[in-house]
Homo-oligomer: A and B are copies of this chain.
Amino acid sequence: MSTPESLALRLFDKHAASLRAARAACLHRGYFSLFQETPDQHPGGEAAREAASGAFKAQLGRPFELDQPGTLDRVGEEVSPYTCEPLGIDYPRADLDALFAAAHRALPAWAAASPNARLGVCMEIVDRLYAQVFLGAQAVMHTAGQGALMSYAGSGTNALDRGVEALVYAQAAMKDVPPEALWERRFGSTTLRLRKRYRLVPRGVAVCFACATFPTWNAYPAMLASLATGNAVIVKPHPTAILPMALAVRTCREVLAEAGFSPDLVTLCCDTNAEPVGKRLVKHSQAAIIDFTGSARFGAWVEQNAAPALCFTETSGVNTVVVESVEALEPVVRSLATTMSLFSAQMCTSPQNVYVPRDGIRCGGARIGPDEFGAALAEAMGSIATDERRAGQIMATIQSQGTLALVDEVTDLGQRRGRVLRESAAYRHCEFPNARTRTPLLVGVDAGARDLYGEERFGPIGFVITAADRLDALAQATSDARQGGAITAFVYSTDPAYLERAELGFSASGAQLTCNLTGPMPLNFAAAYSDYHVTGLNPAGNATLTDLAFVASRFRITQVRAPEPK
Contacts and interface: CB of A to CB of B under 8 A. Distances in A.
B182 A176 contact: no
A172 interface: yes
Interface in A542-566: 542, 544, 547-549, 552-553, 556-563
Interface stretch (A3-11, A114-122, A301-309): A301-309
A393 to B, nearest CB: 13
A513 B510 CA distance: 42
Given A176-B548, A547-B177, A561 B30 contact: no
A558 B531 contact: no
Interface string A478-516: 000000000000000000000100010011101111111
A201 B303 contact: no
Given A176-B172, A552-B552, A560 B507 contact: yes
B514 A561 contact: yes
Interface stretch (A184-192, A246-254, A438-446, A459-467): A184-192
Interface in A180-224: 181-185, 187-188, 190, 192, 194, 196, 198-199, 201
Interface in A412-441: none
A521 B187 contact: yes
B190 A520 contact: yes
- Each complex incorporates copies of this chain amounting to 2
Given A181-B530, A549-B553, A558 B510 contact: yes
A47 interface: no
A474 to B, nearest CB: 14
B183 A30 contact: yes
Interface residues of A, number: 67
A297 interface: no
Contact of A549 (B172, B188, B552): B552
Contact of A544 (B29, B508, B547, B556): B556
B557 A28 contact: no
B187 A520 contact: yes
B560 A513 contact: yes
10 contacts: A30-B183, A31-B185, A183-B527, A192-B521, A512-B558, A513-B559, A519-B563, A532-B558, A544-B556, A552-B552
Sorted nearest first, the 6 A-B pairs with minimum C-beta distance are A29-B181, A549-B553, A515-B562, A187-B520, A549-B552, A548-B552
Interface of A: 27-31, 172-173, 176-178, 181-185, 187-188, 190, 192, 194, 196, 198-199, 201, 303-304, 307-308, 499, 503, 506-508, 510-521, 527, 530-532, 535-537, 542, 544, 547-549, 552-553, 556-563
